[in-house]
């Protein structure tokens, strides 16, 4: 996938070339990397991580393009916190590649693409919803696919929430409880939805959104993100634990050692 020659994007070619899709075996349901002992598929042909073996997710499957670290993390921050909008085009290419792995599972002729919403105050402050910008770019790239229909105003964020940094799993769930609502339930009843966001960290946000959509009558929720925090990282064939915290409020000044311009 060519990422070079993106005009007005203050990123060097070497940094873009070092952004790669997730490598190795991942859970078929949530996208987490799985160790060799869980790498075999079950009777349904699905590979499940230990968590997805124990519980049912409110969505069918979640996919992501790459690991939320290095150049990809910084590229997302360029858009999200520094307002470098050309980054959305590059991230949109990645999102389109990620959701292409789900399309064979869609049953509807028309699938609603719903970006995870921002609270109106945060959106006014930022000037845009990064998930919506990335989804729009992905749909433009995947324009030949007439099955996907952007629906950015069906899912609403009804109240402001605190940063998820440092919260336990229970606190994260409580922080987001009641924060989302479906504006026009009649338009989603019986439909399939592709929920999109920039990053899947612990999965709390997309899970809460999926629960709200299912309660409103959505038949199936699929999840696609540009990046995913992998708790189990396999770099140089070594398994190591990495931080899965949120990064709200981070402002990027460098991209993998490259000076960021404007």
- Is residue 77 included in any domain, yes or no? yes
pLDDT, tens only, 175-199: 888 889 998 999 999 999 999 999 9
| Structural domain harbouring 116 | 13-259
Q: Is residue 2 part of a domain?
A: no
- Alpha carbon distance 49, 143 (integer Å): 34
Number of structural domains found in the chain? 1
Binned at pLDDT 50, 70 and 90, residue 38 comes out as low
Q: How many residues does the chain have?
A: 262
Pairing of strands 238-241, 180-182: unpaired
Domain-located, residue 4: no
The reply to whether 111 falls in a domain is yes
Q: List Cβ neighbours of 209 (8 Å cut-off, separation of 6 or more).
A: 114, 116, 155, 180, 195, 221
Domain assignment present for residue 84? The answer is: yes
- Report the predicted TM-score, pTM, of the whole model to 2 decimal places: 0.83
* pLDDT over 60 at 233, yes or no: no
Measured CA to CA, the distance from residue 108 to residue 137 in angstroms comes to: 22
Q: In this structure, what token pair is assigned to residue 143?
A: 């324009």
Higher pLDDT, 121 or 162: 121
Tell whether 5 is covered by a domain: no
Lowest mean pLDDT among 32-36, 123-127, 201-205, 255-259: 255-259
* pLDDT tens digits along 63-85: 999 999 988 999 999 999 999 99
> Looking at 99-103, 164-168, 173-177, 193-197, which range is the least confident one?
164-168
Question: The CATH number of the domain where 44 resides is what?
Answer: 3.40.50.2020
């Amino acid at each position: 996938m060519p990422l070079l020659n993106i005009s007005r994007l203050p990123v060097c070619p070497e940094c873009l070339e070092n952004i790669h899709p997730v490598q190795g075996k991942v859970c078929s349901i949530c996208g987490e990397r799985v160790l060799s002992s869980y790498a075999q598929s079950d009777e349904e042909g699905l590979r499940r991580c230990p968590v997805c073996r124990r519980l049912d997710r409110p969505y069918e499957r979640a996919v992501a393009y790459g690991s939320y670290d290095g150049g990809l993390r910084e590229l997302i921050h360029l858009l999200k916190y520094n307002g470098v909008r050309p980054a959305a085009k590059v991230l949109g290419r990645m999102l389109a590649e990620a959701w292409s792995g789900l399309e064979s599972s869609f049953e509807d002729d028309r699938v609603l693409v719903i970006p995870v919403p921002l609270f109106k105050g945060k959106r006014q402050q930022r000037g845009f919803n990064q998930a919506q910008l990335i989804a729009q770019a992905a749909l433009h790239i995947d324009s030949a696919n007439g099955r996907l229909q952007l629906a950015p105003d069906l899912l609403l964020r009804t109240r402001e929430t605190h940063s998820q940094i440092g919260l336990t799993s229970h606190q994260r769930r409580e922080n987001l409880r009641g924060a989302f609502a479906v504006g026009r339930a009649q338009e989603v009843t019986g439909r399939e939805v592709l929920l999109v966001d920039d990053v899947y960290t612990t999965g709390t946000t997309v899970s809460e959104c999926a629960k709200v959509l299912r309660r409103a009558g959505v038949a199936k929720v699929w999840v696609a993100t540009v990046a995913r925090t992998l708790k189990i990282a396999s770099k140089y064939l070594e398994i190591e634990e990495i931080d899965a915290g949120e990064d709200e409020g981070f402002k990027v000044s460098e991209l993998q050692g490259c000076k960021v311009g404007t």
